[in-house]
Amino acid sequence: MSEGMITQPGGRAIQSYGAGPAGGQQSTSLGDILERVLDKGLVIAGDIRVNLLDIELLTIKLRLVIASVDTAKEMGIDWWEADPWFSAKGARQEERQQELEDENRELRGRLAALERGNGRRQEQR
Protein backbone atom coordinates (compact mmCIF):
# COMPACT_ATOMS: atom_id res chain seq x y z
CA MET A 1 0.00 0.00 0.00
CA SER A 2 1.50 3.32 -0.99
CA GLU A 3 1.17 6.55 0.88
CA GLY A 4 1.73 10.09 -0.37
CA MET A 5 0.51 13.63 -0.71
CA ILE A 6 -1.93 14.74 -3.40
CA THR A 7 -2.35 18.38 -4.31
CA GLN A 8 -5.91 19.35 -5.18
CA PRO A 9 -6.89 22.29 -7.39
CA GLY A 10 -6.36 25.45 -5.40
CA GLY A 11 -3.12 24.16 -3.89
CA ARG A 12 -4.62 22.24 -0.94
CA ALA A 13 -2.62 19.10 -0.09
CA ILE A 14 -4.27 15.96 1.29
CA GLN A 15 -2.80 12.72 2.60
CA SER A 16 -3.37 9.74 0.30
CA TYR A 17 -3.47 6.11 1.42
CA GLY A 18 -3.80 3.06 -0.77
CA ALA A 19 -2.45 1.92 -4.08
CA GLY A 20 -2.06 4.45 -6.84
CA PRO A 21 -3.82 4.22 -10.19
CA ALA A 22 -1.43 1.47 -11.29
CA GLY A 23 -2.48 -0.69 -8.30
CA GLY A 24 -6.11 -0.78 -9.46
CA GLN A 25 -7.67 0.68 -6.29
CA GLN A 26 -9.77 3.80 -6.50
CA SER A 27 -9.95 6.36 -3.73
CA THR A 28 -13.30 6.63 -2.01
CA SER A 29 -14.55 10.06 -1.10
CA LEU A 30 -16.53 10.88 2.01
CA GLY A 31 -19.54 11.52 -0.22
CA ASP A 32 -19.32 8.00 -1.66
CA ILE A 33 -19.12 6.47 1.80
CA LEU A 34 -22.05 8.55 3.04
CA GLU A 35 -24.11 7.58 -0.01
CA ARG A 36 -23.45 3.88 0.64
CA VAL A 37 -24.29 4.18 4.34
CA LEU A 38 -27.54 6.03 3.63
CA ASP A 39 -28.47 3.57 0.89
CA LYS A 40 -27.91 0.45 2.98
CA GLY A 41 -28.39 1.85 6.47
CA LEU A 42 -26.17 1.60 9.53
CA VAL A 43 -27.20 0.43 12.99
CA ILE A 44 -25.18 1.18 16.09
CA ALA A 45 -26.35 -0.37 19.35
CA GLY A 46 -24.83 -0.36 22.79
CA ASP A 47 -25.57 -0.32 26.49
CA ILE A 48 -23.85 1.69 29.19
CA ARG A 49 -24.23 0.51 32.77
CA VAL A 50 -22.96 2.25 35.87
CA ASN A 51 -22.65 -0.02 38.91
CA LEU A 52 -21.46 0.70 42.43
CA LEU A 53 -20.79 -2.33 44.63
CA ASP A 54 -22.97 -4.56 42.43
CA ILE A 55 -25.85 -2.06 42.59
CA GLU A 56 -26.94 -0.80 39.22
CA LEU A 57 -27.18 2.98 39.39
CA LEU A 58 -27.74 3.84 35.77
CA THR A 59 -28.41 2.07 32.49
CA ILE A 60 -28.39 3.85 29.17
CA LYS A 61 -29.46 1.95 26.06
CA LEU A 62 -28.22 3.49 22.83
CA ARG A 63 -29.81 2.61 19.52
CA LEU A 64 -28.78 4.67 16.51
CA VAL A 65 -29.96 4.09 12.96
CA ILE A 66 -28.40 6.08 10.16
CA ALA A 67 -30.23 5.70 6.86
CA SER A 68 -31.93 7.65 4.11
CA VAL A 69 -35.65 8.29 4.41
CA ASP A 70 -36.38 5.72 1.70
CA THR A 71 -34.23 3.06 3.36
CA ALA A 72 -35.81 3.78 6.76
CA LYS A 73 -39.31 3.42 5.27
CA GLU A 74 -38.28 0.08 3.73
CA MET A 75 -37.23 -1.02 7.23
CA GLY A 76 -40.62 0.06 8.61
CA ILE A 77 -39.35 3.17 10.39
CA ASP A 78 -41.57 6.20 9.74
CA TRP A 79 -42.13 7.86 13.12
CA TRP A 80 -41.49 11.34 11.71
CA GLU A 81 -44.67 11.16 9.61
CA ALA A 82 -46.88 11.25 12.72
CA ASP A 83 -44.67 13.54 14.82
CA PRO A 84 -46.08 17.09 14.88
CA TRP A 85 -42.57 18.54 15.22
CA PHE A 86 -41.50 17.05 11.89
CA SER A 87 -44.54 17.15 9.62
CA ALA A 88 -47.74 19.05 9.01
CA LYS A 89 -49.50 15.69 8.68
CA GLY A 90 -48.43 14.84 12.24
CA ALA A 91 -49.70 18.21 13.50
CA ARG A 92 -53.06 17.62 11.80
CA GLN A 93 -53.28 14.16 13.35
CA GLU A 94 -52.59 15.62 16.79
CA GLU A 95 -55.28 18.30 16.26
CA ARG A 96 -57.73 15.65 15.04
CA GLN A 97 -56.93 13.47 18.06
CA GLN A 98 -57.69 16.41 20.37
CA GLU A 99 -60.95 17.10 18.52
CA LEU A 100 -61.99 13.46 18.90
CA GLU A 101 -61.18 13.48 22.62
CA ASP A 102 -63.22 16.68 23.10
CA GLU A 103 -66.13 15.24 21.14
CA ASN A 104 -65.96 12.02 23.13
CA ARG A 105 -66.05 13.95 26.44
CA GLU A 106 -69.06 15.97 25.22
CA LEU A 107 -70.94 12.86 24.07
CA ARG A 108 -70.27 11.07 27.37
CA GLY A 109 -71.65 14.08 29.24
CA ARG A 110 -74.78 14.18 27.04
CA LEU A 111 -75.28 10.43 27.47
CA ALA A 112 -74.95 10.71 31.23
CA ALA A 113 -77.51 13.56 31.24
CA LEU A 114 -79.91 11.49 29.13
CA GLU A 115 -79.52 8.50 31.43
CA ARG A 116 -80.18 10.70 34.50
CA GLY A 117 -83.28 12.14 32.78
CA ASN A 118 -84.48 8.66 31.78
CA GLY A 119 -83.99 7.46 35.38
CA ARG A 120 -86.19 10.29 36.68
CA ARG A 121 -88.95 9.44 34.21
CA GLN A 122 -88.94 5.79 35.29
CA GLU A 123 -89.16 6.86 38.94
CA GLN A 124 -92.20 9.05 38.16
CA ARG A 125 -94.11 6.14 36.58
Residue-wise pLDDT for 68-101, tens only, equals 888 888 888 887 777 777 767 666 777 788 888 9
DSSP the chain: --EEEEEPTTS-EEEEES--GGGT-----HHHHHHHHHHH-EEEEEEEEEEETTEEEEEEEEEEEE--HHHHHHTT--GGGT-TTT-HHHHHHHHHHHHHHHHHHHHHHHHHHHHHHHHHHHHH-
The residue segments making up the domain with residue 60 are 40-77
- Does residue 69 sit in the same domain as residue 92? no
Domain total in the chain: 2
- Does residue 86 sit in the same domain as residue 61? no
Kindly state whether residue 88 falls inside one of the protein's structural domains.
yes
Task: Report residues of the chain scoring pLDDT below 50.
Answer: 1-3, 19-20
Say what the pLDDT of residue 102 is.
92
Kindly state whether residue 54 falls inside one of the protein's structural domains.
yes
Kindly state whether residue 31 falls inside one of the protein's structural domains.
no
- Does residue 121 sit in the same domain as residue 90? yes
Kindly state whether residue 34 falls inside one of the protein's structural domains.
no
